[in-house]
Amino acid sequence: MTDFSENAVRSGLILGIETSCDETAAAVVRGGSETLSNVVASQIATHSPYGGVVPELASREHLRNIVPVVRAAVQEAGIALADVDAIAVTSGPGLAGALLVGISYAKSLAYALGKPLIAVNHLEGHIHAVLLEQAELARRSNPKLSDTEPLPLPAIALVVSGGHTHLYLVRRHGESWRYKNVGRTVDDAAGEAFDKVAKLLGLGYPGGPWIDALAPHGNPATVPFSFSQIKAKAHRRGRSGALDPAAETFFSFSGIKTAVLRYTQVHEMAAGIEARRAALADEPGAKPLDALPLCDKQTLDLIASFQRAVVDDLRHKTFRASEQFGAESLLVSGGVAANRELRVRFTSEAAERALPIAFPLLALSTDNAAMIAAAAYPKLITDDFAPATLTADPSLALGGRDGR
Ligand code: KG4
Ligand code: ZN
């Protein structure tokens, strides 16, 4: 199946395809560092009435969108399909039916064109969204540099989205990247908490951007939410004052959602929530700030306090992990990395610690295929191709505890 030459590796033109959740996306990236196109068809309007992603509807929408989205990505890149050196596709984690649409399409395309197929883990994609942008910035400032190290390594990566809250220790081994999973959520993902809290407060879907827009209008010190510090003992410093590198970091976001719900019950906020839900239902194209006049001070304070608590928990544990593993830089990616308060508070702590930190552009924070094509480039160089039997792995993990 592989018919590619040195030239292919040098130009490294990769068509990436991503269908793991509710975005149908395709992109063309050259050499892992130059985005020629990045097309995303969002399904937000389809899932919005249900307040969450409906798997069957997601698969149906992917089927409808995959051909036009790939065609648009190839056209925008100004290339012909036959020019690509490889097809990369997300193989997991994600919704089985949704993943299968992208995988089947990528497989047939690779077969028909006689090009290699590369399987990419969605979480690795999120990490490469940041590396892609760093590489683009470096290349633009000095086009002669062909292989710059985008960030000082090792790095700690926080991947924080609607489905995931993970910490990885990121290293490079020759051309390949290595990831060690050093932290994870034991229940809900952070983005899921944003979505559920927004839903229970009668706001729109997905909830993150709504809470992000409304939080600056409230007082974050009003409700003192706290998180259970799971396995905090393992993080105690030893005699030398160092943190134990064997200690895994755990996040837990289901408790705060219940705490917000209880707060609304104790403070009898149900009528206001229902009124807001009804008003927004009457206005299908409503934007997050349209909800501002529909929120009283108590609601805005609650939103601000919720966001501050989640951001600070993520910040505290991410910086602790960076210290624990002697990280030289930090990168934050995934849908929740679009959050403005998160960016501000992470950036200021990183500055205090003189630690380089990078976030992807907003368009690369949420799901897209440029990150998949970028993550595939090191695999193209190292002949790390997927077998023709590739199938969806809904619970695919990235980098075990051993860092492979
Ligand atoms: O990475 P992504 O597009 O899809 C998954 O892989 O899950 O992330 C979507 C998640 C949703 O939970 C959404 O509410 C959250 O990212 N999100 C945000 C913001 N924008 C998107 N959360 C907080 N603040 C935001 N500005
Ligand atoms: Zn994602």
pLDDT of the residue at 110: 97
> What is the per-residue pLDDT for 241?
72
Q: Which residues contact 388 (CB under 8 A, 6 or more apart)?
A: 1, 107, 111, 117
**C-alpha of residue 48 to centroid of ligand 2, in Å:** 18
CATH homologous superfamily of 5-151+363-381 equals ATPase, nucleotide binding domain (3.30.420.40)
- The ligand 1 atom nearest the CA atom of 194: 14
Asked whether the beta carbons of 373 and 28 are under 8 A apart, the reply is: yes
Distance CA 31, CA 380 (A): 10
Beta bridge partners of 180: 169
Bridge partners of residue 165, in order along the sequence = 160
| Ligand 1 centroid from CA 341, angstroms | 14
**Per-residue tokens: 175:** 């051309």
Distances (CA, A) of 358 to 155, 328, 329: 10, 12, 8
Exposed/middle/buried for residue 72 (C-beta within 10 Å: 0-12, 13-18, 19+): middle
Q: Where in the chain is CATH 3.30.420.40? A: 5-151+363-381, 183-355
Specify the residue with its C-alpha closest to ligand 1, atom 11.
162
pLDDT along the chain (404 residues), means of 10: 49 96 95 95 84 87 96 98 97 96 98 97 96 85 63 96 95 93 96 97 96 98 80 60 83 95 97 97 92 98 98 97 97 96 98 96 91 97 95 92 48
Q: Which atom of ligand 1 is nearest to the CA of 195?
A: 14
Dist. CA 155–CA 216, nearest whole Å: 30
Distance of CA 299 from the midpoint of ligand 1 (Å): 21
The protein residue with its alpha carbon nearest to ligand 1, atom 14, reads 208
Question: Cα 274 from chain centroid?
Answer: 31
Helix (H, G, I), strand (E, B) or coil at 332: strand
Position 309 scores a pLDDT of: 97
Give residue ranges with CB within 6 A of ligand 1: 21, 161-163, 191, 194-195, 206-209, 212, 334-336, 338-339, 366-367
Which among 99, 130, 161, 310 is the best mutation to test ligand 1's pocket, defined by most ligand atoms within 8 Å of the CB?
A: 161
CATH architecture for segment(s) 183-355? 2-Layer Sandwich (3.30)
Round to whole Å and give the CA distance between 307 and 341: 8
- Does the pTM surpass 0.85? The reply is yes
Which ligand 1 atom is the nearest neighbour of the CA of 94? 6
**Cross-strand partners of 159:** 166, 333
Q: How far is the CA of 162 from the centre of ligand 1 (A)?
A: 5
